[in-house]
Amino acid sequence: MSADRDADVAGTVPAMLPAVFELDATDGAARAGTATTARGTYTTPLFMPVGTRGAIKYLSADDYARIGAQIVLGNTYHLMLRPGADLVERFGGLGRFSGWDGLTLTDSGGFQVFSLDPKVDDDGVTFKSTYDGSSHRFTPEVAVDVQQRIGADIAMVLDVCAPLPSPPDVIRTALERTTAWAQRAKVAHTRSDQSLFGIVQGGISETMRRESAQQLVEIGFDGYGIGGLSVGETREEMLPALAAALEHLPADRPRYLMGVGDPASLVEAVALGVDQFDCVMQTRLGRHGTALTSTGRFQAKAARNAELDEPLDPTCSCEVCARHSRGYIRHLLQVGEPTASRLLSIHNVAWTIALMASMRAAIETGSFASMRRSVLDVWG
């Protein structure tokens, strides 16, 4: 993966390069590919760790590079309110502000805004800041403007994410507003060195998912997110809706399933043709003493680990497993040492990135079906 930011320093803007997706290998519907943005490339299947406020909790930009991250997410809602898009822009954009040389993606902030019970109309949403209670107006144009100033390599349109379950008329309204807002976002987006992704909505309705995907493709975006899933539905409900959307998305653009990161859902979605994912689960579990391993979730604080001089996962090659024992990490958790959260978060993100690399290798060798079964045997 490469990301050239010298053009910003020189004050020049590189020519527009949409996030074109080139297939390197396929195995069934599963895809191994290379996506190109204006500032660099990334390979898929890809897991993108989440740095909501400009940092992955307990990790630094040096950590991102060591664990193999290619893209790190930031959250438009939070960065708009603190420290503000203007300040991030003055520092040269989110990558430079955070010291990260890789690629960045900002979600639109819509998911966070709609979790605040905002006032919604066809033009946009009005909400109160979780920081100081101040009132703010968010529209598709505002979301684009903020993300252009934040300067992420990939920006997302503002969408309407309805909770699940919701009545069909609520899902229908969310779909229609999402399409209308996507069209407005496309018009408002002018930054030639930033890719813009649309977002498919439609709840768990296969019909509405197809409709949303077709409408967004007609507008035309550099890539396509699939949003509004993993918000209360079962995996059995999620996968048919996901498949219905993917059926109508172009093969030469990245496909991004938003907010999904559990191993079973990752491998099932890759089997359907999804390319990239993000989730906060990895670091959230780490902060609460849980590790992801090849045998399932591991509760590091359990008393049985007190004298175990072995890594969290003997099959894992991350720096935490190479250096630290279960007994040591359990001790840190017992005494409330924050280093435990840091070590477990590093491990969980690195483990997930390695899982995606293993999926890519399996696709390339035609053995993805076997790998999928092995993952589901543990996590399904």
Structural domains of the chain, with CATH: 2-279 (3.20.20.105), 281-380 (no CATH)
Beta strands 40-44; 30-37: pairing state: antiparallel
Of 27, 275, 278, 313, which one is the catalytic site residue? 278
The mean pLDDT of 89-110, rounded to a whole number, is 96
Of 63, 107, 275, 313, which one is the catalytic site residue? 107
Q: What's the pLDDT score for residue 111?
A: 85
Give strand pairing partners of 35: 21, 42
% of residues, the chain, pLDDT over 70: 95
Residue 345 burial by Cβ neighbours in a 10 Å radius (0-12, 13-18, 19+)? buried
Higher pLDDT, 4 or 86: 86
DSSP 51: -
- pLDDT per residue over 290-327, tens digit each? 999 999 999 999 999 999 999 999 999 999 999 999 99
Q: What's the pLDDT score for residue 109?
A: 83
The mean pLDDT of 115-120, rounded to a whole number, is 89
**pLDDT tops 90 at residue 15:** no
**pLDDT tops 80 at residue 62:** yes
End-to-end Cα distance, the chain: 31
- pLDDT per residue over 160-193, tens digit each? 999 899 999 999 999 999 999 999 999 999 999 9
Report d(CA 12, CA 76) in Å as an integer. 25
Q: What's the pLDDT score for residue 19?
A: 67
Residues 6+ apart with CB under 8 A from 102: 1, 3, 40, 64, 65, 69, 70, 71, 72, 95
How many Cα atoms occupy the beta-carbon half-sphere of 277 within 13 Å? 28
- pLDDT per residue over 330-348, tens digit each? 999 999 999 999 999 999 9
Mean pLDDT of the chain: 94
Residue 278 catalytic? yes
Residue 101 catalytic? no
Of the candidate ranges 14-23, 167-176, 273-282, the one whose mean pLDDT is the lowest = 14-23
